[in-house]
Amino acid sequence: MNQQDDMNLCTDQSIMNNINPVTCLGITFANDADRRAYFTNVLREKLQDSEFCKIGGFPIGSDEDILNLSDPPYYTVCPNPWITEFIAEWEHKPKQFEGHNYHREPFAADVSEGKNDPIYNAHSYHTKVPHKAIMRYLLHYTQPGDIILDGFCGTGMTGVAAQMCGNREEVLSLGYQVKADGAILQEEIGEDGTKVWTSFSRLGERRAILSDLSPAATFIAYNYNRRIDVMAFEKKATHILEQVEKEYGWMYDTLHVDGKTKGKINYIVWSDVFICPECSKEINLWNESVDEIQRCVNDIFSCSQCGAELSKKKMDRAWVTEYDDVIKKTVKVAKQVQTLINYSVGTKRFFKKADEHDIKLYERIKGIKFNTNVPSDLLPDGFNTRQPIASHGVTHAHMFFTRRNLAIISYIRSYIDLTSNIGSTLLFWINAANRNLSRLSKLGTGNYFGGGGGAVNAGVLGTLYLPSFSVESSVIKMMKERLPKLARVMANLGESKNIITTQSSTLLSAPDSSFDYLFIDPPFGSNINYSELNFLWEVWLGPKTNIIEEAIENSIQKKGINEYRQLMTLCFKEAYRLLKPGKWMTVEFSNTKAAVWNSIQTALAEAGFIVANVSMLDKKLGSFKAVTTPTAVKQDLVISAYKPNDGFEERFKQEAQTGEGILDFVRTHLKYLPVIKRHKGLIQFIPERDPRILFDQMVAYHVRKGYTIPISSQEFQFALAQHFIERDGMYFLPDQAAEYDQKKISSGEATQLSIFVYDEASAIQWIRQLIKLKPQTFSDINPQFMQQLGGWSKNESKLDLRELLNQNFLCYDGKVDVPEQIHAYLSTNWKDLRNLLKDDPILRAKAQDRWYLPDPNKAGDLEKLREKALLKEFVEYKQAKKKLKVFRLEAVRTGFKKAWQERDYNTIVTVAEKIPNNVLEEDPKLLMWYDQAITRMGAV
């Protein structure tokens, strides 16, 4: 067959509706192909500029490959030079609903909502936030026409969400109401406790700029963020499949067990082969370990020749040395053989063992020379890429495929003209199935034996493990099945084009303060090595990820937690520059180590963001719990951070280190915090309004800006009490307090935050909450306290409860009048103690030995005493010659704070180097002092 003739016969030009004039960035073209050709030429010239090619994260690939895959100016497989122009164009358009008094509270929604959506499933990725989840964020924070940035866009779901905010059906599917005028309403609890629908957003598309380091990611994002001629796509794809069937359909022929009837292969299970250590017989793992009667795989089994007891661990692999005509070299690879075949005769499916016909057929296929381009790139050295090399000798990209599937996929690939409008979608269609068509795909023996269907899966996600029972699925069958599903998805995508750039988000060419909202879902430390896993897609695309600025922890890339933090800090600094003042950024953060969590927190603060809320998604309860402790990171978290508005930053420069500067900070910060949080109708405690957390925020802000802290914790709390309004242990602005009071009347009592005790600071917080509700004696507190100590950090010296109480709280001795707090508790909870005066002997007796919270006016003395004791311990740490294994974290924190005030950065660094790395990395406060001290020392 002459492929070229065939392509001409069915050119995209003839079937595409590409005849209407289009206007792009102010230029009108006769049709879209002209638009693309014009901007491709501009980009071609740009690629000659060596400075342009030095931009961080510039992909690895030839100019032609980059130009082929790009669709400029919308999508470039390199830094997109038109971002600024698009932003100017978008900004220029009057926004119908622009609010001058933009005010939003932090928001957190289920980031896994919508995982069954066909859009979500059209192309997999190693981690993905469904567009439906992101839509909730966009509807909360933005208005139609607002400009959004996702700097770690992966598959571009933020762009899809931005389009879908204009799709009435999609918005309704989230459980909102949409009015005829476009107002979007959500259900809330009204002041009288009943449910009411209130307007909170408007229907209309938002505009998105999407950036990712990986060409595989931006390629997927591009295909999710454009409108194509779906009929033309389906027609072309169907035509390709017909050609493949004609040319290569015989490769999936097999014989039914009757030895006569022809069947079509659905998939083949290839089994690893080992050598029996006793008799040297070749062991086909499937044949010898699978018990078809008991329907299970045995871990231990016997050699069918000598009877020796065998297990996978006891045996060496069988290796074959063969000539690889793709790389023109002799290679040594682990032996895998066709073993089990699933095939169809008509509509009926059968299983059989591979027979001689199947073996001969494959030998014939192996003999056919490729006349198409086959990706043969050498695997880059990496954490995941080492796995298939070690286990199966798979050193090059093509080796991830059987010869049959490689021939067919590369044949389809050779049909695709990327410069045509639907070319990219065709490639998307095959790349989406890439992993399932490769040798990574495996037989899930649980489902196979259980008979529940879905026996074949895509292998161990997030890795490049080659399974022992690898599956070769029919390309023709799979692509046929996927086609109508993908066509439906493509038909439902929005009209507008979002802009996509391939580069590192450490530096983006867009003007300062140009985005209304940022949604960020960054890599989480060492969880997933995106560039390594994306390699298998990128070999089919051309350009590859430039890993230099990949924000991950990966020992082979020589990136530890510090390098990760530094890269994330650069990305957040850039995000900070790009966000409009007073606007929000959401950072989605998944389950991982506390050190990575702290790196993200530190990087955020370092960049200038102020965190207003961290919510943990409790999937079991389907609710959000506020989190205050880094060690409690066990689930998906959503961080809401804002960029303070210009007015505040300016004022702070003048007022820093004065009382007014601090009050201004608190006043501004309180405005961004939620006034009320409910769970199951009950009002929740908001930790960000807690005086100690407000103090920590204020300190962090001063330190990052390079100022000394002008006030002690005690003075701060005193100032808070004087200038703001306290409710249930939280601080509010006057109008917020009024709102809180009103809502509380209709909602019932505030529930208390349950604190996880793991160190001295959290223990103090826990006791504070306990005795605030109920002043009690040592013998009452002690058993409750003991129960809390299970999670105590191993490096933190154990503290006696007595010592904690003595240093932080007061005990009523029965000699003077009963303190107000105890009096209030006893007279409300004990009928017979009601209306008794504070000096009544009965009341005094009942109150004696109860611990209570110090009055803010007197608490200062207590704090000074405690600080003295802590500093004494810190001096010991300073003088210690050896590394510190167990110590008091509070003493180190207090010591660091004092050293900072005295500009004694050397002490901070010296003591920091004596404490275990993980403790430093897992404590945001210590990390902050240490980072800052290192920076200052560098600057001296």
> Where along the sequence are the contacts to ligand SAM (CB under 6 A)?
57, 125, 127-129, 151-152, 154-155, 157, 211-214, 217, 504-506, 521-523, 530, 549-551, 567, 571
CB nearer ligand SAM, residue 127 or residue 806: 127
Parallel/antiparallel/unpaired status of strands 682-684 and 725-727: unpaired
Q: How far is the CB of 579 from ligand SAM (least distance, A)?
A: 16
SS3 166: coil
Q: How far is the CB of 158 from ligand SAM (least distance, A)?
A: 7
747-767 burial, b at 16+ Cβ within 10 Å, e below that, comes to beebeebebbbbbbbbbbbbb
DSSP letters of 252-293?
GEEE-TTSSSEEEEEEEEEEEEEE-TTT--EEEHHHHHEETT
Q: How far is the CB of 159 from ligand SAM (least distance, A)?
A: 10
Q: How far is the CB of 918 from ligand SAM (least distance, A)?
A: 24
Q: How far is the CB of 897 from ligand SAM (least distance, A)?
A: 33
CB nearer ligand SAM, residue 520 or residue 730: 520
Residues 330 and 322: beta-carbon distance below 8 Å:
yes
Alpha-carbon span 406 to 635, nearest angstrom? 40
Enter the tokens of residue 628. Answer: 């205050």
CB nearer ligand SAM, residue 524 or residue 724: 524
CB nearer ligand SAM, residue 297 or residue 575: 575
Residues 624 and 643: beta-carbon distance below 8 Å:
no
Q: How far is the CB of 593 from ligand SAM (least distance, A)?
A: 16
Residues 6+ apart with CB under 8 A from 300: 309, 310, 311
Alpha-carbon span 140 to 198, nearest angstrom? 12
Q: How far is the CB of 546 from ligand SAM (least distance, A)?
A: 10
CB nearer ligand SAM, residue 215 or residue 644: 215
DSSP letters of 899-922?
HHHTT-HHHHHHHHHHS-HHHHHH
User: Residue 404: what residue type?
Assistant: R
Q: How far is the CB of 524 from ligand SAM (least distance, A)?
A: 7
CB nearer ligand SAM, residue 213 or residue 476: 213
Residues 6+ apart with CB under 8 A from 490: 228, 230, 233, 425
CB nearer ligand SAM, residue 393 or residue 494: 494
| HSE of 907, CA atoms in CB hemisphere, 13 A | 20
* Helix or strand holding residue 732 (H, E): strand 730-732
* Helix or strand holding residue 120 (H, E): helix 118-122
* CA distance to 256, 355, 356, per residue, from 362 (Å): 17, 11, 10
Enter the tokens of residue 934. Answer: 């290192």
Q: How far is the CB of 562 from ligand SAM (least distance, A)?
A: 16
Cα angle, residue 342 at apex, residues 338 and 345 outer, rounded to 5°: 130
CB nearer ligand SAM, residue 265 or residue 547: 547
Q: How far is the CB of 534 from ligand SAM (least distance, A)?
A: 7
| HSE of 378, CA atoms in CB hemisphere, 13 A | 6
Q: Residue written as tokens 């509509």?
A: 347
Q: How far is the CB of 564 from ligand SAM (least distance, A)?
A: 10
Q: Residue written as tokens 């303060």?
A: 513
Alpha-carbon span 304 to 295, nearest angstrom? 19
Alpha-carbon span 439 to 272, nearest angstrom? 12
Q: Which residue's C-beta sits nearest to ligand SAM?
A: 154
Q: How far is the CB of 412 from ligand SAM (least distance, A)?
A: 25
CB nearer ligand SAM, residue 473 or residue 506: 506
Alpha-carbon span 129 to 271, nearest angstrom? 35
CB nearer ligand SAM, residue 70 or residue 506: 506
Q: How far is the CB of 515 from ligand SAM (least distance, A)?
A: 15
Q: How far is the CB of 921 from ligand SAM (least distance, A)?
A: 20
CB nearer ligand SAM, residue 504 or residue 713: 504
* CA distance to 130, 534, 676, per residue, from 558 (Å): 32, 19, 45
CB nearer ligand SAM, residue 474 or residue 615: 615
CB nearer ligand SAM, residue 568 or residue 699: 568
CB nearer ligand SAM, residue 506 or residue 599: 506
Enter the tokens of residue 933. Answer: 């001290």
Q: What does DSSP assign to residue 753?
A: P
Cα angle, residue 542 at apex, residues 540 and 548 outer, rounded to 5°: 115
